Amino acid sequence: MQLVDSRPPEVKALAINIKSAMSSLVVAHSSVQQARNTLCSLLHNDGNDAVGMLISAPPGMGKTNLCKAIVRSMNQGVTHTPEADKRPVLLIESPNSSVQGGMAHLLLKALGDLSPKKGNLEEKLDRIDNYIKRQEVQLIIIDEIHNYLPTRATSTPTQAVSFLKNLMNRTKVPVLFMGTHEAERLISFYDEMASRIRPRVVRFNNFSISTPERLYEFAQVLEAFAELLSQAGESFSFFKLEDGVQVLAQENLLKRIFVATDGNLRNVRDLFYKMVDAVQQGQKPTLEGFANIWQPAMNERLGFNPFIQANDKKVAKHILNINNVKGH
């Protein structure tokens, strides 16, 4: 059993670069496009109303990468003046407090305040409002918003939710809330927040192959990973040209990857991480190659290796069962 990484430095560096690109990849599938269009509408609010947007997604479906891409895009070409830094977008990640003071502290810290704990709540809100105006903040992103919400239905908002509502009313800066599907409690529990957010809710779900259109979209996602994998030395594609029209190729492999990963973007990424290493060791991205690298932890509910041809019937049955489930 070899524990020491014996790869030449240049080979290791290439693998790291490819995996880094895969890690930050944002594929413009239909949910991402909907999120971008909805966000554009949100940002054209022009400060007339206190409005928000919610993106809910199961773990591993790319909301964090999308969040970072939004930040990068909005920060492009930002210039700073002697009077104040410009912060078009504020990102509050992984909140760790459900109280008003904790939220205010996180916002002040993100705004560059040197003493974010100083002052009472009203004083902190005054400073936040002042910073937001001076730094020309156009969007506030609160990631993992579900951490702020109660688990049982209630009409009484948490202190943090009350604070966010007051912040939205006062600053009129749009807020993008992001979290797991439990984040939708923000609109199901609280009518006042729902009225600000409900028209702009975007839900990400695991990918599906239940229709030709969804199968094609999943292939587009895999194609983005395959293009990065080609940098390791093995090119393959999930598309081909027939009479000048792009059509699916390797549909058998495509469906098996879906089964192997449960259509989850993080599982897809982890599978291609493994294939990067395998290709560098001389394997090919074929059924046999994927069979060698697939691990049960990538889809613990499956119970069999979907890339082994002896499991063809199990693969077909699994796809049929999934397609019969509502939402797939």
Read out DSSP for 217-267?
HHHHHHHHHHHHHGGGT----SEEEETTEEEE--HHHHHHHHHHHTT-HHH
pTM value? Answer: 0.87
The distance from CA 140 to its chain's CA centroid, rounded to whole angstroms, is 17
pLDDT for residue 327 = 46
Annotation: CATH topology of 30-203: Rossmann fold (3.40.50)
**How many angstroms separate the CA atoms of 118 and 193, rounded?**
28
Which residues of the chain are modeled with pLDDT < 70?
1-3, 46-47, 79-84, 94-101, 155, 325-328
Which candidate, 180, 178, 184, places its Cα nearest to that of 143?
A: 178
Question: Which is nearest to 225 in space by CA: 26, 44, 79?
Answer: 26
Domain ranges in the chain? 9-25+208-323, 30-203
Write out pLDDT tens, residues 23-54.
999 998 999 999 999 999 999 876 678 899 99
- Three-state DSSP state, 156: coil
pLDDT score, position 206 = 95
pLDDT for 47: 63
Torsion of CA 114, 117, 118, 120, to 10 degrees: 140
* Distance in angstroms (rounded) separating the CA atoms of residues 170 and 196: 14
Give per-residue pLDDT as tens, 223-263.
999 999 999 999 999 999 999 899 999 999 999 999 999 99
- As a whole number of angstroms, the distance between CA 281 and CA 179 comes to 38
